[in-house]
Amino acid sequence: MLRVANGVASFVDYVELYRDRLWQMSDGNLRQIFQQYIPEAHWQSIETLIGRGTPDMNGCLNGTEFWIENKLTSGWAVTFETGQVAWAERRVRAGG
């Protein structure tokens, strides 16, 4: 349900209402594809507007934890945001 103040809906409420549609458009439905073809993994979708650069999915399979950043592309190249590169660099420095 949207909270409206002075005729304007909250951005957070908008994202909550349209979350599934927004993420399906932005990652080409890759979350569902991973979950469908690797059902034995424990999956956690990461849905945050706060942690800049945090990957889209976290998974664990056979005792190994992993992170996935879903990217939709029409060619052979993808563009990473500065925050995504910084997150990966911090994780590697921490031993991950």
Give mean pLDDT, residues 52-68. 92
Reduced 3-state DSSP string for 4-47: EECCEECHHHHHHHHHHHHHHHHHCCHHHHHHHHCCCCEEEECC
The percentage of the chain sitting over the pLDDT mark of 90, rounded to a whole number, equals: 42
Read off the pLDDT of residues 19-54 as tens digits, 9 standing for 90 and up: 555 544 566 788 899 999 999 999 999 877 777 899
Torsions phi, psi for 61 (to 5 deg): -145, 125
Domains with residue ranges and CATH for the chain: 4-93 (3.40.1350)
